[in-house]
Each structure stands twice: as C-alpha cells, then as structure tokens.
Amino acid sequence: MLQSIDWLWLLHPVLAVAVVYPLLGMVLRLGYQARDRRINQTKLPPTVGRDHADLGRWLAAAVVAIVLLALAVVILSGHPLAAFPGGLPRLALVLLVLLGSSLALVLLWRAKSPAYRACFSLLCWAGVITLGLQGEVYRLGDNPFQGAFWQSHFWGGAGLTGLMLFSVAGRPEISRHLRWRRLHVSANLLATLIFLAQAISGTRDLLEIPLNWQKPAIQACDYQRNTCPVSPASAPSP
C-alpha cells in the first residue's frame, strides 16, 4: 500500500506525464511549422515562431522545476530531518543549493543581458548537478566510461536540463542569427532523443525503486546474484 512518502515520490513522474510531455509535443509541432514557414514559405500564421519560443520557455521551466522537485523529495525524505546525515550544516547547504537553483531559474527567465543569462543558466545547472550527486539520489553509475552512466535516469535528466537552460538563455541570439538557430535545432534533436530515453529509464526506475515499507527487505537482497534472503515464514518446511 502506498504511504504519504510514496505519493511524494510519484510527483515527478506524474508531472512529467501530465505537463512536460504534452508541452514537448506542442513545442516540436510549432518548431516544425516555424521552420517550414521560414524555409518553404508555407501559408502558416506568422505567430508560429513566437508561439514556439514562448512554449519552449515554459517547457524548459517545467523540466527544470520538476527535476528540482524530484531531487528535493528524494534527498529530504530519505531520512528523518532530526537524523539527517551530516546534521544541520549539510541540511542547510542542501536547502541553500535548492533555493539558489530555483532563484537562478527565475532570474534567467527575467534576465536581458547575455552575460546574466549565461551566468544564471550555469548556476542553475550547477545546482541541479550538485543536488544530484548527493548520496540519496538513485544513480546507476557516475563514471562516463561505463555503460551504467549512460543508462542512468538522473544523468539523462541532467543533460536534458542543460539543453533546456541553453535554449532559454540563448533565445534572443537564436531568433537573430542563423548559426545559433542551427545549433538550436541540433540541440533540440538531441533533447528529443533524451526525452525518449528518459521515458524508458524513468519507467524502469519505477520498477526498481521499492515502496517505502518494502525498502528494508529489498536492501537486503544481493543484486549481483539476483537473490533475496528467505524469511522464516516463507521458508519451505523440512
């Protein structure tokens, strides 16, 4: 049976399905129409480019926001706050990074200067990676020279977050310069592939991460041999 903490853990996938992926479909559709209108001079509304950019900003903000939400839930719910590993100093540091990343996202949304946009996007991305490197966050591996790293849902999300922040930070340049537009298209194609991979790895992780009341038993299993200890009640009678 799901407990309150399990419902909190479900917020991230629920928001991804209900908000992010519908927005992704609309952004991709408008992006294709904007490119088609510009290159082939098709009879499409002149607002498709602006609509694509506006919805793209909302998509990027939604991606970063639910990643920060997921990291906050995983880190802060992993232990009772009174017994938080590292004590009050680490807890305060985690909260400070979380708040700073959220503030950087808001300031990036409002910034006009290229230097400020670059600074706030990098600060936000650094905050996401710093939170993701905490021990409570589920990761398959941290070594990019191993296959587990590239299959990790977190590292895929970290790369996707960086691409989304780049799109928001470079929006004025993308609308003015052809070279930036080409870079933006390439980044969006890569982001689309990562979105697909995230849907697969996220579903896989939902199967691998146990419910809160199941964790003591699951953590006693041997993941190398794919075996779990047999309880006395379930052991076969002699």
- pLDDT tens for 182-233 read 999 999 999 999 999 999 999 998 888 877 777 787 778 877 787 888 765 5
Give pLDDT, residue 169. Answer: 93
Closest CA to 63 of 192, 161, 195: 161
Give pLDDT, residue 23. Answer: 95
Distance of alpha carbon 30 from alpha carbon 144, whole angstroms: 34
Encoding tokens for residue 234? Answer: 């379930």
Query: Is 224 exposed, middle or buried (CB count within 10 Å of its CB: 0-12, 13-18, 19+)?
Result: exposed
Enter the DSSP assignment of 84.
-
Give the residue extent of every domain in the chain: 4-219
Encoding tokens for residue 49? Answer: 């480019």
Coil, helix or strand for 145? Answer: coil
Give the chain's mean pLDDT.
88
**Over the stretch 102-136, which tens digit does the pLDDT of each residue have?**
999 999 999 999 999 999 999 999 999 999 999 88
Coil, helix or strand for 154? Answer: helix
Closest CA to 5 of 82, 66, 75, 64: 75
Give pLDDT, residue 8. Answer: 85
Q: What is the pTM of this model?
A: 0.87
More confident residue, 232 or 163: 163
Which pairs count as long-range contacts for 233-237, CB under 8 Å and 24+ apart, including other chains?
A: none
CB atoms within 10 A of CB 106: 12
